[in-house]
Chain A
């Protein structure tokens, strides 16, 4: 198997603050990896630094033998490295449909947006009923579905999903994580940051523990 993502000695932070202190991590194609660890220890920063959304970073981030460090964020998105960030980063004044279509902004995806949208609706039928509604008026769970749906519109190679359960009622959170882990990503890798490790149990290939900006341990995901 080839590596979807190779990270070596990654340090990153915001302004004078250093959050990541030398991360080494490999993620294979099609692999499902859970990032666990306490708040503030660098899960989000790791995800954001992969796509270049931090103030500064150094070290190495490669994908398919090519360095990603000099590639701007919007290019990475077009190449299928999709971050589904904390807080969703949706377009609150646009409709659900526009939000989803924006996920297929890269020209190659744009042509297939209708069939992709249908697929998203199959995964999250709730979104189908809300297509014309303005995203700012959705419930928290619906917004999360829209955010994940927008990511899926891109048909990415690597999905980085930051705390999909955050701020949701336990039942909805579980169902969203279950759906996410059960997706057929067609060979794409999935990296899931999650504080609540029990949500991941039996659903992923590996668990990577992040502590104080470093990789503190790697365990196989427990079988279901």
Chain B
């Protein structure tokens, strides 16, 4: 029975998603779902990098933001229509990913984290400071939008954007499954568990990491392209560190190892985020506390909790041994 439910999970989600615009004329609901779609796509790609590949990248938003700014800039200065954004985002995301990954995949875990946090901050500062090209603190406005001018602000207009993000979520999910269950995913997981073993069986680790980084960055560029067309522009909030933290919390709460966990984590925290918006800071304090507690008490997030409990119930047998030593030679 649960297995059957398992197989039907995604078809049911897809059917609900397609049916939604026919049943609601509330533009607020659609706007929420659009935001959810963006966050979900970003988190899927992020979990491939951080979970499957074990690369502690915090650069996800940089690729989204770079693509969004580029699309908006091209539209304003060179009259690019909205349907040219996706190819631009895809190529630019992949290219930016390649540039960052070339030096970064050779680095050890934390160096990667440092470099990518720095990247997001550097991008954020740069666009704010460059007023002539990127409009400074206001950002870029007046780019072509996926929502036709006559439908701006109407529920019908949101349906266009809803369809657009739907397509991107599908791309993100397919990419996730393609990478995670394919040869690349296997190579990455092997390298994550033990680099010597991976090398011994002939896996080119930097190349596999480069590949996953470029692929995910391309999809993130796609999300950026959508964002530019949805906002009809771009502004510095795409690089916000607190958004990055919230996105990270979504992955952590859900557990980074399954799309279902990411769906739950993203949905749950976005719901809290949007519905308790009025309480501002306390909500984020609570989020910090939840993240901390979950991290201290679970090994793989909420989604990994059942497995962890099973291990605990089953596996205290070997306890007669004195567990002698913590992680050696970190």
Contact at B321–A58, with CB atoms within 8 Å? yes
Q: Is B324 an interface residue (CB 8 A)?
A: yes
B324: nearest chain-A partner, CB-CB = A52
CA distance A53 to B326 in the complex (A): 9
CA distance A96 to B318 in the complex (A): 42
Contacts of B322 in A (CB 8 A): 52, 56-58, 69-70
CA distance A49 to B323 in the complex (A): 11
Query: What sequence of 0s and 1s flags, for each residue 106-119 of chain B, a beta carbon within 8 Å of any chain A beta carbon?
Result: 00000000000000
A-B contact count (CB 8 A): 27
Contact at B324–A54, with CB atoms within 8 Å? yes
Q: Is A118 an interface residue (CB 8 A)?
A: no
Main secondary structure of the interface of A (DSSP, over half): loop
Q: A54-B324, A55-B325, A58-B321 are in contact. List 4 more A-B contacts (CB 8 A).
A: A52-B324, A54-B325, A57-B324, A73-B325
Chain A contact residues (Cβ within 8 angstroms of B): what range?
10 to 19
- Which residues of A are in contact with B by a Cβ distance under 8 Å? 49, 52-58, 69-70, 73
Task: Name 13 A/B residue pairs within 8 A (Cβ), A-sorted.
Answer: A52-B324, A52-B325, A55-B321, A55-B324, A55-B325, A56-B321, A56-B323, A56-B324, A57-B322, A57-B324, A58-B321, A73-B324, A73-B325
CA distance A55 to B325 in the complex (A): 6
Main secondary structure of the interface of B (DSSP, over half): loop
- Interface residues in B271-330 by Cβ distance below 8 A to A read 318, 320-325
Contacts of A55 in B (CB 8 A): 321, 323-325
B319: nearest chain-A partner, CB-CB = A56
Contacts of A53 in B (CB 8 A): 324-325
Contacts of B320 in A (CB 8 A): 58
CA distance A58 to B322 in the complex (A): 7
Contacts of B324 in A (CB 8 A): 49, 52-57, 73
How far is the CB of B183 from the nearest CB of chain A, in Å? 28
CA distance A93 to B321 in the complex (A): 35
Contacts of A56 in B (CB 8 A): 318, 321-324
Contacts of A49 in B (CB 8 A): 324
CA distance A24 to B322 in the complex (A): 19
CA distance A55 to B322 in the complex (A): 8
Contacts of B323 in A (CB 8 A): 55-56
Contacts of A73 in B (CB 8 A): 324-325
Contacts of B318 in A (CB 8 A): 56
A13: nearest chain-B partner, CB-CB = B321
Contacts of B325 in A (CB 8 A): 52-55, 73
Contacts of A54 in B (CB 8 A): 324-325
Contacts of A57 in B (CB 8 A): 321-322, 324
A56: nearest chain-B partner, CB-CB = B321
How far is the CB of B329 from the nearest CB of chain A, in Å? 9
B329: nearest chain-A partner, CB-CB = A89
Contacts of A69 in B (CB 8 A): 322
How far is the CB of A4 from the nearest CB of chain B, in Å? 21
How far is the CB of A131 from the nearest CB of chain B, in Å? 26
CA distance A69 to B323 in the complex (A): 11
Contacts of A58 in B (CB 8 A): 320-322
A15: nearest chain-B partner, CB-CB = B318
How far is the CB of A20 from the nearest CB of chain B, in Å? 12
CA distance A56 to B325 in the complex (A): 9
How far is the CB of B324 from the nearest CB of chain A, in Å? 4
How far is the CB of A18 from the nearest CB of chain B, in Å? 10
CA distance A69 to B325 in the complex (A): 13
CA distance A223 to B324 in the complex (A): 39
Contacts of A70 in B (CB 8 A): 322
CA distance A70 to B324 in the complex (A): 9
How far is the CB of B328 from the nearest CB of chain A, in Å? 8
A55: nearest chain-B partner, CB-CB = B324
How far is the CB of A46 from the nearest CB of chain B, in Å? 14
CA distance A185 to B318 in the complex (A): 39
How far is the CB of B186 from the nearest CB of chain A, in Å? 23
How far is the CB of B320 from the nearest CB of chain A, in Å? 6
How far is the CB of B322 from the nearest CB of chain A, in Å? 6
How far is the CB of B251 from the nearest CB of chain A, in Å? 30
Nearest first, the 4 A-B pairs at minimum CB distance are A56-B321, A52-B324, A54-B324, A58-B320
A52: nearest chain-B partner, CB-CB = B324
CA distance A54 to B322 in the complex (A): 9
Contacts of A52 in B (CB 8 A): 322, 324-325
CA distance A53 to B327 in the complex (A): 11
B318: nearest chain-A partner, CB-CB = A56
B325: nearest chain-A partner, CB-CB = A53
How far is the CB of B314 from the nearest CB of chain A, in Å? 15
CA distance A54 to B318 in the complex (A): 14
How far is the CB of B197 from the nearest CB of chain A, in Å? 15
CA distance A49 to B318 in the complex (A): 17
